[in-house]
């Protein structure tokens, strides 16, 4: 039996070693977590909507690009993103975003990182309470400027083509 | 001591062998209802290839969020859907698991040596609301066993 405990302990140590993160990776993960929380915070009053959109916009670089997939026009620039967030606000009251399977790969010799993640969007019908879920895979490029990680590009990956 | 071993064993099994999943959405109805609990066998395709009719878990960025779909097209095949009827290499495919069918139309696609064609059982939905299509074999995590 002590051998079994040893195996478990070695397994746990190997698992911990393999899943260790650098400070930059931890920072990026934390940034994405706070972005998710920000997106999931709903507000409906005019000033609140503008502040909320600005807060979400602060997670993007000035020239950020969001590619929503084949056939859709890319969204270019932080201001455009903020405008879209502000317009979507009343609807996002019944909207929740989750981020799963976040893998971070630092680009060597640069202040950039490639992030792969699954974003799930749960929409709740306000009148019926019925929920629908839509999950998509995204490739995200993040860059660090002035000590802060921001999203420079989001590309939707077509899992099923 | 037994509890520790049992916990370790459960961790290994449910992390690397049988992945518990909860179906969300209606795309696999009536086979799987939204909210049903299922298991994906990650070892199912260790010694054999996925087959037509298998219900599989398809990973997105990782194993925590999966698409659950049925394989209807195999590598190398020509597949099309005309008014809801699936054709494989020009022959109609018998699909007893499909209870409702809308008139979906999908132009013929030729699957590569690494591609499968997957779709949900609920064809009563609008095609635009249903995720389906070609998937690379590397994305198939395993077979849904119930």
The pLDDT assigned to B3 comes to 85
Q: A160 touching B, CB under 8 A?
A: yes
**Residue from the list A5, A101, A133 with its beta carbon closest to the beta carbon of B60:** A101
Which regions of A53-130 does DSSP assign to beta strands (E)? 60-67, 75-76, 95-106, 112-124
Q: How confident is the model at residue B57 (pLDDT cuts 50, 70, 90)?
A: very high
**Residue from the list B62, B69, B139 with its beta carbon closest to the beta carbon of A101:** B62
Mean model confidence pLDDT for chain A: 87
List the one residue out of B75, B65, B136, B142 whose CA is nearest residue A99.
B65
Marked catalytic residue, from B10, B15, B27, B36:
B27
- Is the pLDDT assigned to residue A93 strictly greater than 70? no
Domain total for chain B? 1
**Residue from the list A101, A157, A160 with its beta carbon closest to the beta carbon of B131:** A160
CATH number for A21-157: choose from 3.10.450.50, 3.30.70.870, 3.90.1150.10, 3.20.20.120: 3.10.450.50
Percent of chain B with pLDDT over 90: 77
Report pLDDT digits (tens) over B2-27: 888 888 888 888 888 899 998 888 89
A46 three-state secondary structure: helix
The pLDDT assigned to A11 comes to 76
Report pLDDT digits (tens) over A18-51: 677 899 999 999 999 999 999 888 766 667 788 8
Mean model confidence pLDDT for chain B: 93
Mean pLDDT (whole number) for A93-121? 92
Q: Which site among B65, B71, B114 would you substitute to test the A interface, given the most A Cβ atoms closer than 10 Å to its Cβ?
A: B65
The domain locations on chain A are 21-157
CA–CA min distance A161, chain B (Å): 5
Domain that holds residue B57: 2-144
Mean pLDDT (whole number) for A132-142? 92
Q: A117 touching B, CB under 8 A?
A: yes
B99 is catalytic: no
Mean pLDDT (whole number) for B37-63? 95
Question: What phi and psi, each to the nearest 5 degrees, are found at residue A90?
Answer: -55, -30
Marked catalytic residue, from B15, B36, B69, B99:
B69
- Is the pLDDT assigned to residue B116 strictly greater than 80? yes
Q: Give the residue ranges of DSSP H helices in chain A.
A: 2-18, 23-40, 46-57, 78-92
């Amino acid at each position: 039996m002590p051998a079994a405990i040893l195996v478990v302990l070695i397994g746990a140590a190997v698992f911990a070693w393999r899943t260790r993160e650098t400070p930059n990776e931890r920072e990026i993960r934390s940034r994405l977590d706070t972005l998710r929380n920000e997106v999931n915070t709903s507000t409906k009053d005019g000033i609140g909507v503008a502040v909320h959109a600005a807060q979400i916009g602060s997670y993007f670089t000035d020239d950020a690009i969001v590619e929503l997939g084949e056939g859709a026009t890319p969204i270019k620039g932080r201001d455009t993103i903020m405008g879209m967030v502000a317009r979507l606000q009343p609807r996002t009251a019944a909207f929740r975003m989750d981020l799963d399977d976040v893998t971070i790969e630092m680009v060597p010799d640069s202040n950039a990182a490639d992030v792969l993640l699954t974003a799930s969007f749960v929409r709740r019908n306000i009148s019926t309470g019925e929920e629908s879920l839509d999950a998509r895979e995204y490739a995200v490029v993040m860059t660090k400027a002035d000590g802060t990680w921001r999203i420079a590009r989001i590309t939707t990956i077509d899992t099923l083509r | 001591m037994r509890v520790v071993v049992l916990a370790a064993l459960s961790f290994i099994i449910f992390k690397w062998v049988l992945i518990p999943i909860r179906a969300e959405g209606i795309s696999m109805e009536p086979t799987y209802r939204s909210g049903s609990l299922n298991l994906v066998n990650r070892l199912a395709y260790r010694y054999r290839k996925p087959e037509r009719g298998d219900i599989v878990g398809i990973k997105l960025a990782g194993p925590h969020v999966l698409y659950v779909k049925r394989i209807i097209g195999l590598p190398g095949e020509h597949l099309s859907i005309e008014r809801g009827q699936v054709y494989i290499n020009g022959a109609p495919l018998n699909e007893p698991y499909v209870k409702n069918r809308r008139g979906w139309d999908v132009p013929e696609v030729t699957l590569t040596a690494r591609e499968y064609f997957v779709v949900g059982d609920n064809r009563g939905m609008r095609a635009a609301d249903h995720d389906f299509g070609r998937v690379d074999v590397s994305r198939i995590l395993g077979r849904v066993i119930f």
